[in-house]
Amino acid sequence: MFSGAVRAVFRKKKGFGFVKILHWLLLVLFSATAALARLRLLAVGFDADGLPVPMDLNTMVLPAVLVVAAVIAVIMARRYPAQRELCGSMDLYFAFDRSTLVVLLMVLGSFALIGSAVCSLVFSLRTTLTMILSVFLAVGAACLLYATTALRRKAEFSGVALLVPVCAMVLALILFYREHATDPILRHYYVETLALAALTVLLLEFAAFAFRGGAPRLLMPASTMSVILCAAALAACPTLAEILFYAGGACIALGIGAAADFDP
């Protein structure tokens, strides 16, 4: 009788299904494992001259964790509808109006990105590209706040606003790779590169829903991998601007993933 009552409660409370609980548990597990593996890689993955140590168990753990996490995320996303099955407006697929925590994550993430942009302007070398990126990042974060508020109130808003953070992430990815392209040691920066790429895909797919072209089977794995990769990037003890950036990216990815409601 007790187990039947529990199942009834879980059926009534949408979002507390077994698969969703498993998803969040795996997300926490893989995020923590990726962060610890990155710390281990930084500790023993390089010799005294800064050159990479030949491949051993310590250096292979992080790539293995990321690959396994990506495979599991893709498999778990197979239960969601494909792009061609979507026909409703954006607020039908993102439950920002039903969860204060989701809105809080989006707000915290957006303000963290704005803080990252301000720190880059104040503490970093001011070049034209750095200033352009900071402005794009701040405006993109403000657009995310605007979209979150509109979705919270179930109000109409222009989908073009969600393209601004996508452009900011694309620019951040290009500038980051340009800055590190001369570094022959991929271990120094591949996690951050993947994190930026995952955030770009996530925001692009999120924006696609505003034009009724979103793909849940792409958005959910992108959300999962964004959180995991941002956690691994934070483990490298970056600058304040980078800490705010990746922490903000993780919060936004968590918010989008938690708000997504694609269950039939």
What is the average per-residue pLDDT within 34-43?
90
Which SS3 state, helix, strand or coil, does residue 46 take?
Answer: strand
Instruction: Tell me what pLDDT residue 93 has.
Output: 83
Q: Report the chain's C-alpha Rg in angstroms.
A: 19
- Tokens 């795996």, residue located: 26
- The answer to whether 203 and 161 are in contact (CB under 8 A) is no
- Tokens 């034209």, residue located: 128
Nearest Cα to 118, choosing from 102, 89, 98, 139? 139
Rounded Cα distance, 93 and 206, in Å: 10
More confident residue, 146 or 43: 146
Instruction: Tell me what pLDDT residue 122 has.
Output: 87
Instruction: Tell me what pLDDT residue 3 has.
Output: 43
Instruction: Tell me what pLDDT residue 87 has.
Output: 59
- The answer to whether 52 and 46 are in contact (CB under 8 A) is yes
- Tokens 């900011």, residue located: 168
Burial of 253 (0-12, 13-18, 19+ CB in 10 A): buried
Residue 202 has pLDDT above 90, yes or no: yes
pTM, two decimal places: 0.88
Residue 9 has pLDDT above 50, yes or no: no
More confident residue, 189 or 6: 189
Instruction: Tell me what pLDDT residue 181 has.
Output: 84
Domain ranges of the chain: 13-259
> Who contacts 131 (Cβ-Cβ below 8 Å, separation ≥6)?
121
- Tokens 């990126």, residue located: 133
User: pLDDT tens across 115-132, in order?
Assistant: 999 999 888 777 888 888
